[in-house]
Homo-oligomer: A and B are copies of this chain.
Amino acid sequence: MSVIAGRPVAGDGEEFRAVDPATGTALEPAYRALSAPRIEEAVTAAATAFEVYRDTTPQQRAAFLRTIADNLDARRDALVERALVETGLPEARLTGEVGRTSGQLRLMADEVELGEHQGVRIDHAQPDRSPAPAPDLRLRSIPIGPVVVFGASNFPFAFSTAGGDTAAALAAGCPVIVKAHNAHPGTAELAAGAIADAVNSCGLPPGTFSLLYGVGNEIGEHLVAHPDVRGVGFTGSRAGGLALLRIAQARPTPIPVYAEMSSINPVIVLPGRAKAVDEVAQGYLGSLTLGSGQFCTNPGLLFVPEEAAELRTAIGAAVGETRGQTMLTEPISDAYRDGVARLDSIDVLGRGAEGDGPNAPAPVVAAVTTAQLRDTPGLADEVFGAASLVVSYRDLEDVIDTLDLLEGQLTVSVHVEPSDHEALRTLLPTLEDLAGRIIVNAWPTGVEVTHAMVHGGPFPATSDGRSTSVGTLAITRFQRPVSYQGLPEDLLPQAIRDENPYGLPRRVDGTLER
């Protein structure tokens, strides 16, 4: 059932069920979409809750985030059990993902207490300044208001109901309305329960969190166009993200949309490293086939020197030894098969075996040249799943020319030996322009939840490359700065008072204080 401001709501719209992708079996119970009046109710409750939640102290907000984390951990077995049948992902992965998700919430709680995100700056009045006195000015970043988060298919926990965008928005002081992903409604329901219970036990206004079910695009369009919604977090397809972005831009008052959409995460093996044939081939296949390749950081392109015939052969052989794993949904597995069909017209380097069940297509790696990649429209488009291109390059200039033609990426990786360092130095500016994260001698799958992480990148990797969806910096995406001039001390928000009751790091009269 949907959760609207703490109450379970059955819904009165279209009925749908999750499907076990391993068997194609529809799962009980049925879920029902919400009608427009119910969606209105959730948004109104969020707007009302915002008036209270925006003024919670760092300690209150941190306690709330930690309570959600505790609730998730306490319900881990139930969460994993349901996610297993709704996603087809392996148990160990799902168990780990719950831990990642609760850890992410706890890290965000620490961040709220640290308080650097409030961006406090105080310039005291200078009544004697000549020719004119300077006023007292104080700056802080405030929460933007209710945020809508669209759960992702491929991370039922870490990028869904209680995932990164929810954690960041709640940490910033924004109520959250989650549109559940229809592939895992039961998992969403359980995670929503963990949040709603925390709202309740922490004494926060019920509208601080809602979970809504809907079928088709209507509910998303309704939410993103709603005047009381002030920001959007999305992880999913390019078409979906762009549709939401366009709605947000066309509003009388546009709002920020953080849509993580599309990335093929190029990996460049420089000549010195290309000789480590087995290590590179195994590392590549491991990253490519992890979780059926259903990662936004999945390596979709591997650049290798054209003379590295042995490496290509080893890759071809390694792909041959792989086996398909169940993908998240039938539409995703169908789209993968369609995408792979495009590769059949080029030189297929290797193909794994089909896995068990209806939705476990075989991993595929094809071989192309940089010229083919540049000249074939659509060849560099993302195929979501364990499909990738090995791209043979002539020299460093050829790599740079080809990277320059790619769209923005979440990550770009380079594999080097010390003999490749000068080439990497030459590459660096191109890599910085291309991606949000530059990786050396590691594979792109695996996104640390920490302070220095950027999980973002230039369009269309994300709709807004000035932000990250993972790591503590994510909290800033749901804020905006406000300056307070000449406020009497008794009316100043606590965060910007001289006595600094929250112990925030700040800049006072130009000097950083910690």
Contact = CB atoms under 8 A, between A and B. Distances in A.
A435 B142 CA distance: 12
A253 B139 contact: no
A59 interface: no
Interface string A305-346: 000000000000000000000000000000000000000000
Q: How large is the interface on A (under 10, 10 to 19, 20 to 34, 35 or more residues)?
A: 35 or more
A491 B451 contact: no
Contact of A438 (B256, B485, B514): B485
A137 B487 contact: no
A442 B253 contact: no
Given A54-B429, A450-B134, A452-B123, A437 B514 contact: no
Given A438-B482, A507-B116, A512-B116, A254 B459 contact: yes
Interface stretch (A62-70, A148-156, A368-376, A420-428): A420-428
Q: Which of A441, A454, A509 has the most CB of B within 10 A?
A: A454
A429 B485 contact: no
A151 to B, nearest CB: 24
Contacts of A488: 416, 418, 421, 440
A505 interface: yes
A29 interface: no
A452 B512 contact: no
Interface string A197-212: 0000000000000000
A388 to B, nearest CB: 20
A65 B54 CA distance: 39
Contacts of A456: 481
Given A438-B487, A491-B424, A121 B466 contact: no
Given A481-B473, A487-B438, A256 B453 contact: no
Nearest to A463: B254
A446 B134 CA distance: 10
A347 to B, nearest CB: 29
A489 to B, nearest CB: 10
Contacts of A439: 485-486
Contact of A483 (B134, B253, B453, B491): B453
A193 interface: no
Contact of A441 (B121, B428, B486): B486
A121 B452 contact: yes
Interface string A94-123: 000000000000000010001010010111
Q: Which of A54, A408, A429, A433 has the most CB atoms of chain B within a 10 A radius of its CB?
A: A433
B137 A436 contact: no
Contacts of A425: 491
A419 interface: no
Nearest to A139: B452
A397 B357 CA distance: 63
B440 A487 contact: yes
Given A123-B448, A466-B256, A490-B421, A454 B436 contact: no
A459 B514 contact: no
A249 interface: yes
A54 B142 CA distance: 31
A473 B121 contact: yes
A510 interface: yes
18 contacts: A121-B452, A121-B473, A123-B451, A134-B448, A134-B450, A137-B452, A253-B460, A421-B488, A421-B490, A428-B491, A438-B485, A438-B487, A442-B485, A466-B480, A473-B481, A505-B512, A513-B514, A514-B514
List of 7 A-B pairs having minimum Cβ-Cβ separation, nearest first: A454-B483, A137-B452, A139-B452, A121-B452, A437-B483, A439-B485, A440-B486
Given A134-B448, A451-B510, 12 more contacts: A110-B510, A121-B473, A123-B453, A137-B448, A253-B459, A256-B466, A424-B491, A438-B482, A439-B486, A452-B483, A456-B481, A512-B514
